[in-house]
Structure 1
């Protein structure tokens, strides 16, 4: 008999004021061999504790459409502390002075790297920027003495996210259901954000 806790089949009611998604966790356990595909004019710029406003602006530009809210829900001082951590590396992907993407890695756990955030603004999708940025992310991660790189995505994210990560060698290893306060009620996101998910007030 499995020792894992089983969820009952059928519908599970999400309380008013909450949102729910299915989360897919993916990992790779060996350094990949990747062919370089340069995205002309794109570079990664390291973001530090003085860049909180820029970080949140990029985060909102990318993620409001996909219900990203975690970094918008914390105080600027708390985010500055995260960005100041020696085990956290955050970058803006920029071209001609315009921010196109966000990459954040957590390298605090010995032997592993987590890609915490990875995303592009809509205008950069389909231009090869995402592939270039993932190659850069993996190069940064596997430059450390790690045996595992992992990340997660969910059903509120871009529908092509899982396929994109799998093409780079990530393999799914766990599913989870995440329930959280609706960020449109907490003030992290505008009440009109993500109209595809109805806002059910308590």
Structure 2
């Protein structure tokens, strides 16, 4: 969830980031009711969005890395098997994969664990699937699935490490920005969670 708005603010001006760390500006967005549906191209022949029903940790992490390494997704990689297993086995967490010809191309994860709320926890495509209009299809599917349940709020966050089109896509889909935060974390490329070649658009400062 976004930070309490009463929390202390960052000082004005520049703030140093510790060595071997990264910093991202995180924008949270929300929608408080289902939006007007937007058209999307149908999935190409042979491609389908299907649920990953209680996947094992390795299967999930492999897809998570394939989709998120270039955008420095690391939060799920810091979890122990037991902690990750608790999420994957929770019926209030819905995980789907975009699948074609025996391979997974994308990840969509919806988290309904907070009452009357759904978080679009993760949405992304492997690099080879980007630029084909599939992101819009995944967002539309997420919106439809979220509002098929009795929720009052659907929210998502994106950051300056993500695909540069992500924020605009969410806004065009009916999400409204509601908070901005700065996240500082140890660089996952230096902790061994991700290859050092991941996210070349983010400087690696060892």
TM-score, structure 1 length as denominator? 0.91
Aligned residues between the structures: 200
How far the C-alpha of 1:4 sits from its partner, in A, is 6.1
Residues 3 and 148 of structure 1: CA distance in aligned 2, closer, same or farther (over 3 Å): closer
Q: Relative to structure 1, is the Cα distance of residues 61 and 50 closer, same or farther in structure 2, using a 3 angstrom cutoff?
A: closer
Q: Deviations over 1:110-158 (max 9, x none)?
A: 1110000000112212222111111111111001111110000000111
Alignment partners' CA distance in 1, 2:119 and 2:165: 20
Q: Deviations over 1:58-96 (max 9, x none)?
A: 211111111111112222332222110121111111122
1:3 Cα deviation after fit? 5.7
Q: Following the alignment from structure 2 to structure 1, what is the Cα–Cα distance between the partners of residues 188 and 125?
A: 21
Instruction: Name the counterpart of 1:166.
Output: 171
2:127 to 105, 122, 125: 122
Aligned pairs for 1:48-67 (under 5 A) are: 48-67=53-72
Gaps of 5+ in 1: none
Aligned to 1:94: 99
Unaligned runs of 5+ residues in structure 2 are none
Q: Secondary structure at the match of 1:9?
A: coil
Question: Retained in 2: the 8 A contact 1:19–1:181?
Answer: yes
1:24–1:174 CA contact under 8 A, matched in 2: yes
Aligned residues of 1:48 and 1:80 also touching (Cα < 8 A): no
Q: What TM-score does the superposition give when structure 2 sets the normalisation length?
A: 0.89
**Is 1:182 the equivalent of 2:187?**
yes
Counterpart check, 1:40 vs 2:41: no
Answer yes or no: is the 8 Å Cα contact 2:38–2:173 preserved in 1: no
Report which stretch shifted further, 37-46 or 181-190: 37-46
Q: Aligned-pair RMSD on alpha carbons?
A: 1.8
C-alpha change, 1:34 and 1:10, in structure 2 (3 Å) is same
Worse-superposed segment, 15-24 or 189-198 = 189-198
Q: Which residue of 1 aligns with 2:20?
A: 17
In structure 2, the residue matched to 1:29 is: 32
Matched, 1:103 2:108: yes
Q: Which SS does the other structure have where 1:50 is aligned? A: coil
Deviation at 1:191, TM superposition (A): 2.7
Give the 5 Å matches for 1:185-200.
185-200=190-205
